[in-house]
Amino acid sequence: MTGLSRDTVSGDLGLRIEEPLIFEQDSPGAVGVDWPEAEAGPDRLGGLARSGPIGLPSLAEPTVVRHYTRLSQKNYGIDTGLFPLGSCTMKHNPRLNERMARLPGFADVHPLQPESTVQGALTLCRELQRWLTVLTGMPGVALTPGAGAHGELCGMMAVRAALDAGGAANAARRRVLVPDSAHGTNPATAAALGFEVVSVPEDGRGRVDPDRFEALAGEGGVAAVMLTNPNTCGVFENDIRRIADAVHDAGGYFYCDGANFNAIVGRVRPGDLGVDAMHINLHKTFSTPHGGGGPGSGPVVFSEALAPFAPVPRIVEEDGVLRLEEANGRALGRMKAFHGQMGMFVRALAYMMSHGADGLRQVSGDAVLNANYLLRKLEDLYSAPFADSGPAMHEALFDDRSLRDTGVSTLDIAKAMIDEGLHPMTVYFPLVVHGAMLVEPTETETRASLDRFVAIMRGLADRAKAGAPLTEAPHHAPRRRLDETQAARKPVLRWRGAGEE
């Protein structure tokens, strides 16, 4: 063991406390929940009762609370500080939303209770659909997808179902045009559904080249385009109408990846731009918590053309009573077990109601202003490949060209930010920009917070150019750089006790 730990007896440093695994804190005889023993009697398990130990450790409640509290202290969250993760929209998570989702009338309700006993829940779902419909200008909403990528799957299944319903000749429509700046989920989704992915090159200004796009669309067999707008280069696709027309003229549909909806919410309705389907990441635009990687929620909005193919269950109204329609001949099928991420619907609706139409408009305005502010304050030190391609939207894209002679890479800057108490930005994405750094401040940062970010980033650039050894960072995080090669070469995916194979 080296350096850092030499000053203390324990090796721990102040609040930085090492915490063993729960399996290493096993204290047989301890319990964290008091359940009585069931009364003895004959079982009806058909001879399949478990024999022998499961192998779970035994810990009392104080130990468990301390364990997970200490683990939490090794994490960075939005509550900790600025979280400039491009394309991820890490904005403030209001606690009111948590309180609302935990109301027993929402949380302690079973998905298959009689519909007469869940009219409030169904009304909430309808209300969320109404807000999404008005905000997107699109008439259909499928609530069930469990996350953004799941929404993409749903939207592209609807495209396939609509094509198939359009006649046997459409079976040959298998080409999906995907810009090479797209999120990885787009080609993965298209390929998972048997589509052929056709890559559309970026035009050198961070956008799809409309002439090139029209040519590709004109080659026949087009099923759809999958386009993110604003795109991952941080700019708005100003030829979006031409793109929409080209794909429609070719007999295909326009799928919009809604990951960047935060930039335009309340100001632009995708339905007005010719979009046929778009998923909405409730955990981005509408601030349901990311929770360390989920659960997400990815409702999909549909145009008139695709709405009939939305999955079941659907919420329908009959004689003033809301019901769940569980089967429909045109529906593409079913996305998951029940009706969607209800807990996320409550949070998202609480967020929408809190902001209102006026507040949501301010959300996109401030998000875009903040990104442009960072772009202009940093572009002299960090090269910005598309700074002259028109205003940035809610993200500022930089690259590592300006650091080329320093030996410091994008990754080094990201790791150095950790030592400064910041979460890094998105790095090496989009793939079309070498050494990309995609910064999304969101609208919930103060100007002071933005200025602090600028000061740190400028300082890091200065240090890099002065030859500071950033390649070793971070030094002050709970861990230094981790050996991902070892993790992948000899995967250890679970704990094993001494002597266990």
Pattern 429-468, binding to other proteins, x per CB under 8 A?
Answer: x-------------xxxxx---------------------
Query: Judged by CB under 8 A, which of 269, 323, 452, 463 binds other proteins?
Result: 269
Query: Judged by CB under 8 A, which of 355, 383, 412, 457 binds other proteins?
Result: 355
Looking at residues 358 to 417 of the shown chain, list those that interact with other proteins (rule: CB under 8 A): 358-363, 365-366, 368-370, 372-373, 376-377, 390-392, 414-415
Query: Judged by CB under 8 A, which of 13, 120, 316, 401 binds other proteins?
Result: 120
Q: In 3-state terms, what secondary structure has residue 30?
A: coil
Looking at residues 186 to 245 of the shown chain, list those that interact with other proteins (rule: CB under 8 A): 187-194, 197, 235-236, 238, 240-241
Asked if 38 interacts with other proteins (CB under 8 A), we say yes
CA distance 86 to 387: 16
Asked if 138 interacts with other proteins (CB under 8 A), we say no
In the complex, least distance from residue 408 CB atom to other proteins, rounded to whole angstroms: 17
Q: Is 494 exposed, middle or buried (0-12, 13-18, 19+ CB in 10 A)?
A: exposed
Are 262 and 442 a contacting pair, CB within 8 Å? yes
CA distance 254 to 228: 11
β-pairing, 222-228 with 253-257? parallel
Are 387 and 379 a contacting pair, CB within 8 Å? yes
Q: In 3-state terms, what secondary structure has residue 458?
A: helix
Asked if 12 interacts with other proteins (CB under 8 A), we say no
Output 167 or 293, the one with its CB closest to other proteins: 293
Pattern 142-171, binding to other proteins, x per CB under 8 A?
Answer: ----xxxxx-xx---x--x-----------
Question: At residue 396, what are phi and psi to the nearest 5 degrees?
Answer: -115, 125
CA atoms within 13 A on the CB side of 249: 13
Query: Judged by CB under 8 A, which of 84, 86, 124, 438 binds other proteins?
Result: 124
CA separation, residue 97 to residues 212, 324, 346, 378 (Å): 45, 25, 7, 35
In the complex, least distance from residue 399 CB atom to other proteins, rounded to whole angstroms: 18
In the complex, least distance from residue 216 CB atom to other proteins, rounded to whole angstroms: 16
Q: Cβ–Cβ contacts within 10 Å for residue 25, how many? A: 16
Strands (E), 319-401: 321-325, 396-398
Stretch that binds other proteins, among 118-126, 249-257, 300-308, 399-407 (CB under 8 A): 118-126
Output 106 or 453, the one with its CB closest to other proteins: 106
CA distance 182 to 195: 16
Output 290 or 314, the one with its CB closest to other proteins: 290
Output 77 or 465, the one with its CB closest to other proteins: 77
Residue with tokens 């950033």: 470
In the complex, least distance from residue 324 CB atom to other proteins, rounded to whole angstroms: 9
In the complex, least distance from residue 461 CB atom to other proteins, rounded to whole angstroms: 18
Q: In 3-state terms, what secondary structure has residue 222?
A: strand
Asked if 184 interacts with other proteins (CB under 8 A), we say yes
Selection from 249, 290, 285 nearest residue 270 by Cα: 285
Query: Judged by CB under 8 A, which of 215, 219, 317, 486 binds other proteins?
Result: 486
Are 311 and 154 a contacting pair, CB within 8 Å? yes
Looking at residues 301 to 340 of the shown chain, list those that interact with other proteins (rule: CB under 8 A): 311, 326-327, 332-340
Selection from 153, 170, 158, 165 nearest residue 251 by Cα: 170
Number of residues that bind other proteins (CB under 8 A): 205
Output 116 or 167, the one with its CB closest to other proteins: 116
Asked if 92 interacts with other proteins (CB under 8 A), we say yes
CA distance 77 to 279: 25
CA distance 463 to 386: 25
In the complex, least distance from residue 315 CB atom to other proteins, rounded to whole angstroms: 12
Pattern 406-435, binding to other proteins, x per CB under 8 A?
Answer: --------xx--x----xx----x------
